[in-house]
């Protein structure tokens, strides 16, 4: 739903300190970035998720500049005891927690992949019987997926919009912007968690193709995520009675590539965490001064 940042005129008294109009560059920037993130296609690959995180960082940079405007500070500081102020601070803390936990999930996922790569390299492609190594990875991944689904559910449930107790149009405009930013940020984190906690339905369907051709067909690639395709490769490797060196090299190459992509997302989340911390500090400074 589109958000309007127009400031309603109050005919009862002068509004010399009202917020900048919608044409103000900072307001335009926030609005355009929000619109871009809302209309962007569902991110299902690590590359698209990384691009979406980059756009989210740009949004939060613009938001912090918006919070530094004197008019924005005045609108918020006039309502120090308003319930919506508490909700805005709670929202900034929720986003920090969600970002930090999501970053930790990606870190744990990457560590699981590194351990698996280490185990596979020790086999040197000359031994069969990789059941224990791959099963251990799948078990760790399953535990991690359960944790991410719970976190994703918590993010959805905890999001709440600030409620104004008066009709201050300046405050309404600021709160509207902050609530919309919180909402879209939560949605991006949910997409990241969904990427990690994929079900194995698609993986199983790809496995049948892998057993026939020993490689993922073009038909199968379009229906599965990178993680599901990697799972399918591992299931085939686990089931192989005679593991070829080239087969092992292919799997290791895939794991290395996926680990690198996950590390990039992890680094983007770390940068995002710093932006969210900066926003929270800005809000606390406004409310405490």
Angstrom distance (rounded) from CA 69 to CA 75: 10
Token reading at 166: 């008066």
Rg (CA), the chain: 24
Angstrom distance (rounded) from CA 200 to CA 197: 9
What's this model's pTM, rounded to 2 decimal places? Answer: 0.79
Average pLDDT (236-241) is 81
Which among 160, 163, 159 has a CA at the least distance from the CA of 175? Answer: 163
Mean pLDDT over all residues of the chain? Answer: 77
- Domain spans of the chain, in order of start: 44-199+227-288
Tell me the pLDDT tens digit for each residue of 33-87: 998 898 876 667 899 999 999 999 999 999 999 999 888 888 887 755 567 777 8
Token reading at 149: 């689904």
Average pLDDT (9-36) is 61
- How many other C-beta atoms lie within 10 A of the C-beta of residue 87? 19
- How many other C-beta atoms lie within 10 A of the C-beta of residue 163? 11
Residue 109 has pLDDT above 70, yes or no: yes
């Amino acid at each position: 739903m589109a958000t309007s940042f127009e400031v309603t005129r109050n005919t009862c008294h002068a509004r010399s300190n009202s917020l900048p109009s919608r044409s103000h560059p900072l307001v335009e920037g926030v609005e355009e970035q929000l619109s871009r993130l809302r209309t962007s296609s569902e991110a299902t690959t690590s590359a698209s998720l990384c691009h979406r995180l980059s756009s989210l960082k740009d949004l939060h940079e613009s938001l912090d500049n918006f919070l530094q405007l004197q008019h924005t500070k005045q609108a918020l500081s006039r309502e120090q005891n308003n319930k919506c102020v508490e909700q805005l601070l709670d929202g900034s803390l929720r986003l920090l927690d969600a970002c930090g936990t999501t970053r930790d999930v990606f870190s744990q996922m990457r560590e699981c992949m590194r351990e698996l790569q280490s185990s596979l390299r020790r086999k040197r492609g000359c031994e069969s019987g990789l059941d224990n190594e791959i099963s251990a990875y799948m078990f760790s991944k399953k535990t991690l997926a359960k944790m991410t689904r719970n976190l994703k559910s918590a993010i959805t449930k905890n999001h709440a919009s600030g409620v104004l107790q008066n009709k201050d149009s300046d405050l309404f405009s600021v709160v509207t912007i902050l609530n919309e930013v919180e909402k879209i940020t939560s949605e991006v984190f949910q997409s990241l968690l969904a990427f990690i906690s994929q079900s194995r339905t698609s993986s199983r369907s790809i496995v049948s193709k892998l057993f026939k051709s020993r490689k993922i067909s073009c038909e199968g690639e379009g229906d599965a995520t990178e993680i599901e395709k990697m799972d399918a490769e591992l299931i085939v490797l686990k089931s192989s009675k005679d593991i070829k060196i080239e087969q092992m090299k292919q799997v290791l190459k895939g794991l290395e590539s996926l680990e690198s992509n996950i590390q990039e997302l992890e680094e983007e989340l770390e940068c995002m965490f710093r932006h969210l911390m900066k926003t929270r500090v800005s809000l606390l400074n406004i409310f405490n001064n």
